[in-house]
Amino acid sequence: MADVVFSNVQKTFGTFTAVRDLDLTIRSGEFVSLLGPSGCGKTTTLRMLAGLEFPTGGTISIDGKVVNDTAPGKRDIAMVFQSYALYPHMTVAKNIAYPLKKRGVPAAERDQMVAKAAEMLQLTPLLNRKPGQLSGGQQQRVALGRALVRDPKVFLLDEPLSNLDAKLRGYMRAELVELHARLGRTMVYVTHDQLEAMTMSDRIAIMLNGDLQQFAPPQEVYRFPANRFVAGFIGTPSMNLIDGELTRAGSGWRFCAASLDVPVGPLNDMAQPGPACLGMRPESLSLGAGEQMAKVLLVEQTGHENIVTLQFAGQIRLTARTTAAQDLQMGADVAFAIDTSALHVFGPGETGPRLNRLLENKSSETDGQT
């Protein structure tokens, strides 16, 4: 059991608040991603957990023990740095053995553990090389080896894949997922790449300007974003967000913007008539038939599908996803229909809250399950 609990954690640098009132409980064995744009506080959060930064308020506990005043070396954590931070003057074997050596593991035992870790990461033929003689991917694996050789309670990974090329990144992503499954250890992973977060995590914590926006499994984050920021941040191409007016229509609600007027599903108690934001995923627009008309601005072919940018009602831009077979000419007019069962409604503002009723039910459900 190695839960990680952030309780009301604050971090300020002078007048700048990096992390504000963070409450986060990471369960034992869970793979959690901290996701957000640069400057959102995700790295600061990880560094506080590592003991490299000290919170200015609140408590952090690992395995039920408050570690605010515990030195990094005594927290039983391991960290993989974005730059790998391998010791350049030591061989691969010595790099991996270093955390063991500093904890007084006898030499014979140490060699065994290094050999085991090296085998797991296919580093055995490289053990006598120096980091400078390795490729980026190999250095990455050495950094992982140094982290896992000690079998720590919690693994911290700070954008470990960002220095690799695209192909290797995909490969290492799969390796990390497999490694997590094999070791069953708690892993906290910082990234600004939503694809990494979506594909690898059990749960994603999305942050913006030091505030936690949503903490939920990838599917839930995608299907029921907690607010407008999360909705726009998760998904490629990103969700269409249209500002407009929310009005009551009998017992339900309607959303109007320019010539668009659609019924929206049951909303929660926060909903009130007035300015609001409508969100629809590119896949909930279907082109070719329907009562709305738009102009095709751009067709991007990705191979198995096309990403189409539409201009609607003069000023609203929409992104739609269509099959590659659908032939669309730039500049032509096209009819489209909106799947009204998959619409999201958010309150006004950058982090306007989700107004659809579905979230609350869904959220409590998944929380109980996992």
Judged by CB under 8 A, the residue of 13, 65, 68, 89 near another protein is 89
328 near another protein, judged by CB under 8 A: no
Nearest to 185 by CA among 173, 196, 193, 177: 177
Helix (H) or strand (E) holding 114: helix 107-120
Q: Which amino acid is at 320?
A: A
User: Quick check: 92 and 134 in contact, CB under 8 A?
Assistant: yes
- The nearer residue to another protein, 102 or 182, going by C-beta atoms, is 102
Helix axes 92-101, 136-148, angle to 10 degrees: 20
Stretch that binds another protein, among 87-95, 177-185, 272-280, 361-369 (CB under 8 A): 87-95
- The nearer residue to another protein, 51 or 352, going by C-beta atoms, is 51
- The nearer residue to another protein, 43 or 309, going by C-beta atoms, is 43
User: Quick check: 268 and 356 in contact, CB under 8 A?
Assistant: yes
Helix (H) or strand (E) holding 267: none
77 near another protein, judged by CB under 8 A: yes
Judged by CB under 8 A, the residue of 11, 42, 110, 146 near another protein is 146
Q: How far is the CB of 29 from another protein (least distance, A)?
A: 21
User: Quick check: 21 and 193 in contact, CB under 8 A?
Assistant: no
Q: How far is the CB of 102 from another protein (least distance, A)?
A: 4
Q: How far is the CB of 103 from another protein (least distance, A)?
A: 5
Stretch that binds another protein, among 81-89, 159-167, 209-217, 246-254 (CB under 8 A): 81-89
Q: For residue 136, give the 3-state DSSP assignment.
A: helix
User: Quick check: 263 and 251 in contact, CB under 8 A?
Assistant: no
103 near another protein, judged by CB under 8 A: yes
- The nearer residue to another protein, 86 or 176, going by C-beta atoms, is 86
Judged by CB under 8 A, the residue of 8, 25, 37, 72 near another protein is 72
Tokens in use for 17? 């608040």
* Omega of the bond leading into 237 within 30 degrees of 0 (cis): yes
136 near another protein, judged by CB under 8 A: no
Judged by CB under 8 A, the residue of 37, 73, 136, 349 near another protein is 73
Q: How many Cα atoms sit within 13 Å of 96 on the Cβ side? A: 31
Helix (H) or strand (E) holding 21: strand 16-26
- Per-position DSSP letters for 283-327, written without gaps between them: GGEEEEEEEEEEEEEEEEE-SSEEEEEEEETTTEEEEEEEETT--
248 near another protein, judged by CB under 8 A: no
Q: How far is the CB of 165 from another protein (least distance, A)?
A: 21
Judged by CB under 8 A, the residue of 9, 79, 280, 334 near another protein is 79
Q: In the range 2-61, which residues lie near another protein by CB under 8 A?
A: 50-52
Stretch that binds another protein, among 30-38, 82-90, 273-281, 339-347 (CB under 8 A): 82-90
| Cα–Cα distance for residue pair 280/320, rounded to 1 Å | 10
88 near another protein, judged by CB under 8 A: yes
Tokens in use for 153? 């309670």
Q: How far is the CB of 60 from another protein (least distance, A)?
A: 15
Helix (H) or strand (E) holding 185: none
Residues in binding contact with another protein, number by CB under 8 A: 24
Residues at the site binding another protein, with contacts judged by CB under 8 A = 50-52, 71-74, 77-79, 81-83, 85-90, 98-99, 102-103, 146
